[in-house]
Amino acid sequence: MTSDMPDAARFVLVSPSHAANVGAAARAMKVMGFADLVLVAPRRADVLHSAEAQAMASGALDVLQGARVVDTLAEALHGTTWACATAMTPRDFGPPTLAPREHFAALAGSGHRVGFVFGPERTGLANDDVYRCHACISIPTHPEYGSLNLAQAVQLIAYDWRQSLGGFVVRPRTALPDVAAAEEVEGALAHWQQVLVQIGYLDPAVPRRLLPRLQQLLNRAQLTREEIHILRGIARAAAKSAGPQSSE
């Protein structure tokens, strides 16, 4: 599957060994809005149709089913104009090694048709595959342990590339909270006052500052009407367990 969209990117998995990683990579791509997946000589010929891949691609079967399988990296990169290899350690020779965000900031908006190349799970990319690329991307990790699962690496690169393109808008809540009115908060406070006296927690002769403190607590909480109902329900249950006398 290819695209002429300016934010399109191709994700190339070279000789992936585990079908589950392929499925998870498809899902990682889809949540960031990408769909162009190419496998180069996967270890399993049926990887795209395997139960493991399809299970891990939950919700992204369209990406998995639209993926292409080719024999060589050259075929996988056909049509791209800028290829980014991914590698944990820099090579002594080859393209410059850069952090994703640093490089993507300059690459976004360049008009390039970008391909991201990921190596086999056990060995990573071979030198010859890295040399074929224009840049080598190294995800910053803890220096003592930087091993990333293949699908995790795809997710991080897909996220950073999407962010460099402007990202997606965070959607607000589907409904604004139904904030309780002042009189409803006052009613709940009065209800709790009755119950606290009934259970012996509040001495009306020596109230100290308990009620003003509760008032401040409720004000800070910005309670919804539903939450007020919950608090009053708790008060009713407490009053009932304390004795036959009702608190209302």
Q: pLDDT tens across 10-54, in order? A: 999 999 999 999 999 999 999 999 999 999 999 998 999 999 999
Range of the domain at 238: 182-242
pLDDT at 47: 92
pLDDT at 245: 53
Per-residue pLDDT band at 6 (split at 50, 70, 90): very low
Could you tell me if 49 and 97 lie in one domain?
Answer: yes
Instruction: Please state at what angle helix 225-242 crosses helix 182-198, rounded to 10 degrees.
Output: 20
Domain annotation covers residue 186: yes
Q: What gap in Å lies between CA 229 and CA 233, rounded to an integer?
A: 6
* 131 CB-near residues (< 8 Å, 6+ apart): 93, 94, 95
Could you tell me if 186 and 160 lie in one domain?
Answer: no
CATH of the domain at 189: 1.10.8
pLDDT at 240: 87
* Residue 21 exposed, middle or buried by CB count within 10 Å (0-12, 13-18, 19+): buried
Number of domains composing the chain: 2
Whole-prediction pTM? 0.72
Domain annotation covers residue 248: no
Could you tell me if 87 and 40 lie in one domain?
Answer: yes
Residue 201 above 70 pLDDT? yes
